[in-house]
Structure 1
């Protein structure tokens, strides 16, 4: 006989299996719910950190964009400034060319003689040629060039006036051979700085005759007093007290071979014969000089000096002082002085503000 199987035993066995599966499912569900709770708790714990990191990323990105925008804006400003200066230079050169076309001897010379370049100073390290016009911050330009030469370790402000004007510090172009002169004129950067002619004239008088100056009194002062005073006393001849009207009459009546401190600027630097790459104006010299230094790739630590090295307690000759001195002159003398400097006024585009 076959063994009997209890139906209840069969059901119990399967019920046990089903309950096991059900309990396992409950355990898994519990674990799942527990895991979800843990994940939620972890997320809540990490959320502030995530927010902080997000903010840092956003701020950093924003800062980068801001810096890039600032750099772009700065570059744009620099390009605009460069273009403005280049436009100014183009206009100044055009004025010179227009005046030169009126001159009889207006050709650019292929073989300049020493007499054309004797006031041009040479700086070989950076390839610069500077035409010195007295009374147009020439001392500070010499300080700058001496520093660039590398022969002197002194700072410009430590260079005394006498030292700066020592002829051994910087060579002039006329001391080179003809071939070397021509090569430098062709390959070096040539520049000059000019000044309103009447202000420069007053500045020369104040510097050389209103202060004790042995050389200028002995060479010019005594002669001027003898020429323009009736029966001057011995005391007058030995005193450097010539007047501005006497000085003005002397200059206009002795136009040939004047001292370079009041000689016409166009006769000093010969811009009709030598094409200068840069024509600077004294009235805006700080901005223009430093622009020029950057343009020719001079290191940024080298800037144009601002100080006045002699008679520093006195104010710089300006429009007010110029009018004060010219008020002492007769109309005829003022007209003759304008004629003396007329080419400078026109060539460098200065408008005369003195009624003639």
Structure 2
């Protein structure tokens, strides 16, 4: 659907379409297939969203669950399993079901929320690995085993970042190198740090709105008031990081990497960086030129 958008939304969409065309990402292929399995469709209110983890996903899962009729009491009681609640109401749609919904709901808004790929990566590391979440301990153990030589690649205050659970924790360098290795071996990457382009294929899904975590309040307000759900959705941001925000510590973590790791990370998130117009130059000169992986 064509909707009247504020200029900054138009600029984001125009920029994305230019980059899509430049890399032929707007053309389906064997390795560039349109994905809709992460979509949620609320037909009553005309909201169609592709959920990207670590990009305001907790906030918008709460919103979609509220729109589905769950009470605040139910949502609080199930705060640790919002996705399970959501999927009980919103099944994973096929490509044809997404297209049908867009056609059948003339006033619908299809949107995606993105985030600087480095901030999103670090958010995933802090929330899933550094915090020693029990579900992620086997993965953390793999990261430790894969690159024991990187266990000392960290700043002097490293121990101040580790929770007091007494468990070994992969350094950020070990975490990043494991992900880089998985990509090079063409193995699946965890949903919390998989490139956003791979997850929601924005060049093939033609989103009405590209919202950003960096301007979340303004972008959310536009979506909420445009669809008339302001009396149902509360203005709130869930799952904030403990201590300093991820934005505040992004440079701290990126600067722990070697030059080669940084370049590999840029290559991994190349499309995310370019499609969503994120700057990485401020990190380019802080990595360590004297270390090698």
Answer yes or no: is the 8 Å Cα contact 2:43–2:101 preserved in 1.
no
Please give the TM-score of this superposition, normalised by the length of structure 1: 0.66
The number of equivalent residue pairs is 258
| CA RMSD, 1 decimal | 2.7
**Cα shift readout 1:3-47 (whole Å, capped 9, x = no counterpart):** xxxxxxxxxxxxxxxxxxxxxxxxxxxxxxxxxxxxxxxxxxxxx
Unaligned runs of 5+ in 2: 152-165, 286-293
Alpha carbons of structure 1 residues 308 and 157: separation in structure 2 relative to 1, 3 Å? farther
Ranked by relative contact order (alpha carbons within 8 Å, sequence separation 6 or more), the top structure is 2
In 1, Cα distance between the equivalents of 2:73 and 2:45?
18
Q: Which of 298, 307, 316 matches 2:245?
A: 316
Q: After the TM superposition, which residues 268-287 of structure 1 pair with which residues of structure 2 at under 5 Å, given as runs? A: 268-287=199-218
Unaligned runs of 5+ in 1: 1-81, 233-237
| Cα deviation, residue 274, structure 1 | 0.5
| Cα deviation, residue 160, structure 1 | 4.0
Please give the TM-score of this superposition, normalised by the length of structure 2: 0.79
* Larger of the two Rg values belongs to structure: 1
Answer yes or no: is the 8 Å Cα contact 1:123–1:170 preserved in 2.
no
Answer yes or no: is the 8 Å Cα contact 1:290–1:303 preserved in 2.
no
In 1, Cα distance between the equivalents of 2:75 and 2:236?
7
Q: Which of 148, 155, 159 matches 1:229?
A: 148
Alpha carbons of structure 1 residues 99 and 333: separation in structure 2 relative to 1, 3 Å? same
| Cα deviation, residue 266, structure 1 | 1.1
Matched, 1:355 2:274: no
In 1, Cα distance between the equivalents of 2:238 and 2:25?
39
| Cα deviation, residue 263, structure 1 | 0.7
| Cα deviation, residue 223, structure 1 | 1.5
Q: Which of 150, 166, 170 matches 1:242?
A: 170
Q: After the TM superposition, which residues 188-207 of structure 1 pair with which residues of structure 2 at under 5 Å, given as runs? A: 188-207=108-127
Q: After the TM superposition, which residues 257-276 of structure 1 pair with which residues of structure 2 at under 5 Å, given as runs? A: 257-276=188-207
Partner SS state of residue 259, structure 1 = coil
In 2, Cα distance between the equivalents of 1:287 and 1:105?
29
In 2, Cα distance between the equivalents of 1:285 and 1:160?
24
